[in-house]
Amino acid sequence: MSALLSIRGVHTYYGNIRALAGVDLEVNQGEIVALIGSNGAGKSTLMMTIFGAPRAREGHVVFEGRDITRMAAHHIARLRIAQSPEGRRIFARMSVLENLQMGSVVAGAEHFEEDLERVFTLFPRLKERLTQRGGTLSGGEQQMLAIARALMSRPRLLLLDEPSLGLAPLIVKQIFDAIRQLNQTEGLTVFIVEQNAYHALKLAHRGYVMVNGRITLSGPSAELLSREEVRAAYLEGGH
């Protein structure tokens, strides 16, 4: 199997501070892959490095065999890599519908209605709130909108940074169920960053553990879930 996304020896810095110290990671077509780790480990930095901001100082980001390390973010989006960044960055002043329209730009207009119905099936709540401004949605609704907006671009790779952050268990379950369903029915490839290691590894096929900008462990999710060092550091009392 050749990787859809391949991160090879990536080092990323903020000024002189090294946030990623030689990361190797792969996401294959049709997989859900989770990246777990403590606060400040470098998870969001890796996600952002895929989009080139910050850019990798060393190493390569390769998508479908193509080196995108130095590609501009809007070109990367056109390759149908979509991200729902940490902190649900939706357009606060735009309505739910306008946010979804923004997401659909790279997918083209012809699928708009169909894609809209698809995200409404996943998140019926959004359909009820079509004209409401993004900024006035609840935290869970904003997270749904951030993911729905990413889906409107018909992504070949969906990047999710902490989709469960600050949400009630029931909403987290809804969101994770939606991701699982998209993966199973449409083969959507997902790379998910999560502090909620238990939920993330239950969802994902494979996982990576990051500590201080380095991958320290990787393997099938079930195997990681059973490992003592993972349980002790990321699971005990954590779920």
Ligand X SMILES: Nc1ncnc2c1ncn2[C@@H]1O[C@H](COP(=O)(O)OP(=O)(O)OP(=O)(O)O)[C@@H](O)[C@H]1O
* Distance, CA of 121 to CA of 152 (rounded, Å): 13
User: Which lies closer to ligand X via its Cβ, residue 176 or residue 234?
Assistant: 234
For the segment 169-208, give every residue that binds Mg ion (CB under 5 A). Answer: none
> Smallest distance, Å, CB 147 to ligand X?
17
* Distance, CA of 239 to CA of 66 (rounded, Å): 38
Of the residues 45, 83, 104, 174, which one makes contact with ligand X according to CB under 6 A: 45
Contacts of 123 (CB under 8 A, 6+ apart): 144, 145, 147, 148, 174, 178
Binding mask of the shown chain, residues 82 to 101, with x at each position contacting Mg ion by CB under 5 A: ----x---------------
Binding mask of the shown chain, residues 33 to 52, with x at each position contacting Mg ion by CB under 5 A: -----------x--------
> Smallest distance, Å, CB 84 to ligand X?
14
User: Measuring CA to CA, which residue among 109, 103, 164 is closest to residue 134?
Assistant: 103
Applying CB under 6 A, does 37 fall inside the site for ligand X? yes
> Smallest distance, Å, CB 223 to Mg ion?
24
Q: Which residue has the tokens 């894609």?
A: 115
User: Which lies closer to Mg ion via its Cβ, residue 64 or residue 86?
Assistant: 86
User: Contacts from 116-119 at CB under 8 Å and sequence distance 24+?
Assistant: 116/152, 118/151, 119/148, 119/151, 119/152
User: Measuring CA to CA, which residue among 152, 172, 156 is closest to residue 164?
Assistant: 172
Q: Rule CB under 6 A: which residues touch ligand X? A: 14, 17, 19, 37, 39-45, 86, 195
